[in-house]
Chain A
Amino acid sequence: MPAVEQTVERVKEIDVDKYKYGFSTDIESVRAPKGLSEDIVRFISAKKGEPEWLLDWRLEAYRRWRTMQEPTWAKVHYPKIDFEDLYYYAAPKSTEGPKSLDEVDPELLRTYEKLGIPLKEQEVLAGVQGAPKVAVDAVFDSVSVVTTFKEELAKAGVIFCSISEAVKTHPELVKKYLGSVVPITDNFYATLNSAVFSDGSFVYVPEGVRCPMELSTYFRINAENTGQFERTLIIADKGAYVSYLEGCTAPMRDENQLHAAVVELVALEDAEIKYSTVQNWYPGDAEGKGGVYNFVTKRGDCRGDRSKISWTQVETGSAITWKYPSCILRGHGSRGEFYSIAISNGYQQVDSGTKMIHLGRDTSSRIISKGIAAGFSDNTYRGLVSAHRKATNARNFTCCDSLLIGDRCGAHTVPYIEAKNSSATFEHEATTSKISDDQLFYCLSRGLSEEEAVALIVNGFVRDVLQQLPMEFMAETQKLIGISLEGSVG
């Protein structure tokens, strides 16, 4: 079939230059020696000037991790990771933490400029009038570089800083909530993260406060052979609201980079957290060489009654994605949402989904997952919806649709549904199909090129999820979808 061959050729053509964030930055960095041992854990802890309790916590996690085995149940295949051949700590070299942006390495600032991330507050302000403000925490390799709009946030009482700063300034909050959603014993990668996490963002929104602007963290892996282990902790106190967005990119390297993050969300009574991710780690080249291993544990705890946690994710990058943002619906009347677009092309492998664990009364959850597989990729939705004995009137609606582009890719759906309560009402539906010839023909007859037509149809396919993204990222994401699928049709 010539059409298929053509597709294969075109997929091959998507070379590295399609990944526009693939540059690397020459910045002197400080690294811990390669490999992992108790000494490295102590080194990281000391480097960050951490209190005793946190070091003990890390060491406990490290010892636990030594006894654990890598999980193999996900539908992803990769050569065994040599955990002794990684740098567990890398930081842009600077003597003290930068006092202001002027002290930050200009090379670093240029990196963020290239990425289109505004770190200078005035630039943001000078932007289009009335454009919403976004506070940014930029994490470069292992450390947080800069956090913008701190003062304005502080006025509202919102704490937004790097987690290592929070350990120093708000130890009581960190101690209380760190590991309370994802315990150190949770899983192989989360435990590893607990032992060696380097930095990440910390957000605390006090009682009754609606965070005045979008918060955002921008992650960048730069150094070679480095694992990035960031830890994000977001707490919305009673009646608070916060919307948080994270973005991720990495340079192109031949070897695989490991990213094992942990994100913990805590929503107390009547609080709401909206967490959006645009993940665009380097996916590897056309032969499937290189790329980021994205092994992430994200979990939200709707601890208070009537609280709400909403996950929105756009997954276009990474060689391998292993990620299940989950909600524990503990509070009565709490609500969890999961909206996901996962696009895989080339030799990418995605195994992603969510868990909705209904524990409280009258809890509800909604899962909308759209998977798009092209090229030689595999795209798996794996999800769990469970209702505990006491979760009366739990309600779930799940819809996961997959779209296949090309006949060398795979789309899989593995949902687990566990109802231990008769009053729980669960509905699940899933479909898999390809872009219909009729739709394509219609677009072509209207003068669109085939690639434009596919991008249009795919954007229509994922519309339900796109609408959940913060306004300013919607347009960008639409473009990203176009880029990710480039070359997938002949």
Chain B
Amino acid sequence: MDLSVQQFRSEAEQALLDLYERSVDALPGDASVADLRQSAIRTYAGLGLPHRRIEAWKYTDLRAAIAEIPPLLAESDAPVDGTAFEAAFGKAFAQLPAYRVVLVAGAVRTELSDVQGLRDAGVEFGALAQMLESPPEWLMASLDAASASGDDVLIALNTALMTGGVALRLPEGLTLQKPVHLIHLDGADTPGSVYTRNVLVAGEGASATVLESFGTLGRAGVQRNAVTTVSLAAKSAIHHIKLQREALETIHLNAWVANVGADARYDAFQVSMGAALARNQVSVRFAGKDAATDISGATLARGKQHCDTTLVVEHDVPACESRELFKLVLDDESRGVFQGKIVVARDAQKTDGKQMSQALLLSETAEFDSKPELEIYADDVVCGHGATSGQIDEDLLFYLRARGLPEAQARALLIQAFVGEAFEALDDEAIGDAFAAVSAEWLGSPAE
């Protein structure tokens, strides 16, 4: 069956087209950006919202999940201060030392951001909305590359409707001492949609840690579509970290697309604990030899939350290494999805790829769906994946209780240990502690 031509449109699918029509004149960008938007919305119009018959969305039916399309959130000057950060991300995170950039509805709130600090450190930085009006070559190249991915509806919609975000370029050889913290805080009294695009470009030999956090202001639900493209030149390194702690009404769609040059290193780490429905995509393509990636993270879900993590690593060139480790803790009626695909192209010999997903189900009604995929066309490779699903080991629990720990505490300890394994990927101590603190808070045990 040819699924590329849509048979009928749901109300929400039509509403998205209407939203584009209504907003297109006000969307930022010059003629070349407008062309990209136009072709992206055509891609969307042909495909519609992904549903379970689309293999990559088998376990997350967006067409069924999205009933209404709220209007684009307008830039607001709503007061955002320290308490808002703390409420959204917890104390440890709010206080993390970093070059902070606060984005509300995609717009950079300069009064809360350390843009000057970034520029002083040598980073080329700009708000996307302004830069789209006359995009420099490197920005246009990133936008073009993201559009070339073709049939990814999530990215197509983002291209069509992106209103803001940041563009950030590290010049050759620059090593940033402090992490960059991109804080996305959104929400108003009425529901709204937010489409943001961040563009990270690392010059040869440059390195930085970029932290993105997503949180909610106000009460009404937000539909978020956030895409970050990362382009790594030879010998560069980016550690890309995400905390998603949005309000429970949120629909959170996020894609990271990384293109990794020779000898470069791209590490991604994500913790998802908020939103009614979250889809986290990370796709990494190796473009140069001897590059490496480590993608890891954790999903903590309860209630009726649905959290989908979909990873694709494309080994297009020889001698690259990829590691993936994801841990899911699922309580109540929550549903965790993990899809991981490692593709090794014909001549990508000496590829080393490993992937692991593990789920801990805390309640009878939680659900875990996993699809770890290997697609291999080269013979001199070592690739493997594993997936496990189970509940708390009664023997371990018994051991801890025999040592005098109350059951609740023993459970929390075991869950923390389970999740903790993924946190080992964080080599920055302050960031590691901040994640330990938010996860401990989720588990209901006080942070130490």
Q: Could you tell me which A residues sit within 8 Å of B by CB distance? A: 69, 72-73, 389, 402, 404-434
Contact = CB atoms under 8 A, between A and B. Distances in A.
30 contacts: A72-B1, A402-B376, A406-B379, A407-B349, A408-B346, A410-B375, A412-B374, A414-B373, A416-B369, A419-B359, A419-B361, A419-B389, A420-B367, A422-B361, A422-B364, A422-B365, A424-B361, A424-B389, A426-B387, A426-B389, A426-B390, A427-B388, A428-B370, A428-B385, A429-B384, A431-B384, A432-B382, A433-B382, A433-B383, A434-B381
B387 A405 contact: no
A43 B360 CA distance: 57
Given A73-B55, A422-B361, A417 B387 contact: yes
A362 B369 CA distance: 20
Interface residues of B, number: 38
A69 B386 CA distance: 34
A421 B367 CA distance: 7
B366 interface: yes
B439 to A, nearest CB: 20
Contacts of B383: 431-433
B358 to A, nearest CB: 10
Contacts of A413: 372-374, 385
B413 to A, nearest CB: 19
Contacts of B388: 425-428
A88 B33 CA distance: 57
Contacts of A408: 346
A408 B365 CA distance: 45
A344 to B, nearest CB: 13
A381 to B, nearest CB: 9
Nearest to B362: A422
Contacts, number: 120
A425 B390 contact: yes
A156 B115 CA distance: 87
Contact of B380 (A72, A421, A422, A434): A434
Contacts of A72: 1
- Return the 10 tightest CB-CB contacts between A and B, nearest first: A422-B361, A404-B379, A417-B370, A431-B384, A413-B374, A419-B389, A428-B387, A425-B390, A426-B389, A432-B383
B384 A411 contact: no
Contacts of B368: 417-419
Given A73-B55, A431-B383, A432-B383, A422 B378 contact: no
Interface string B321-350: 000000000000000000000000011010
A232 B388 CA distance: 35
Contacts of B385: 413, 428-430
B363 interface: yes
A429 B388 CA distance: 9
A107 B171 CA distance: 80
Nearest to B364: A422
Contacts of A420: 367
Contacts of A417: 368-372, 387, 389
A422 B366 contact: yes
B442 interface: no
Contacts of A422: 361-366, 390-391
Contact of B376 (A406, A412, A423, A424): A412
A454 B367 CA distance: 43
B138 interface: no
B398 interface: no
B377 interface: yes
Contacts of B376: 402, 404, 410-412, 432
B265 to A, nearest CB: 24
A419 B363 CA distance: 12
Contacts of A433: 381-383
A414 B373 CA distance: 5
A414 B364 contact: no
Contact of B384 (A405, A419, A432): A432
Given A413-B374, A418-B369, A423 B391 contact: yes
A406 B379 CA distance: 6
B113 to A, nearest CB: 43
B389 A425 contact: yes
A408 B345 CA distance: 10
B1 A69 contact: yes
Nearest to A421: B364
A129 B372 CA distance: 50
A428 B376 CA distance: 18
A434 B378 CA distance: 9
Nearest to A392: B364
Interface in B384-414: 384-391
Contacts of B346: 407-408
B390 A410 contact: no
